[in-house]
Chains A and B, each alone.
Chain A
Amino acid sequence: MRRAYFKNNWIAAALVAPQLLIIFVFFYWPTAQALYWAFTLEQPWGGGNQWVGLENFQAIVEDEYYWNSVMVSIIFAFFSTLLSMGMALVLAIAADRQLNGYKFYRVGLIWPYAVAAPAVGLAFRFIFNPSAGLLSHLNQIWPGIWDPIMNGDHALAMVIFAGAWKQVAYNFIFFLAGLQAIPRSLTEASAMDGAGVLRRVRDIQLPLLAPTAFFLLVINITDSFTDSFGIVDTMTAGGPARATDLMVFKIYEDGFRGLDYSGAAAQSIILMLLVMVLTFFQFRYIERRVHYT
Chain B
Amino acid sequence: MQNSIIDIKQLNLYYGKQHILKDINISIPAKKITVILGPSGCGKTTLLRSLNRLTELDASVKISGEILLNGQDLLNSTEDVTTIRKKMGLLAQRPYPLPMSIYNNVAYGLRISGRRKKKFLNSRVEYYLRQTNLWDEVKDRLKEPAATLSIGQQQRLCLARGLAVDPQIILADEPTSALDPHSSRMIEEKFAELKDSYTIVLVTHILRQAKNIADHVIFMYMGQVVEQADVREFFENPKEQQTKAYLQGQFY
Report whether chain A binds chain B.
no
The residues of A with any CB-CB pair to B shorter than 8 Å are none
The residues of B with any CB-CB pair to A shorter than 8 Å are none
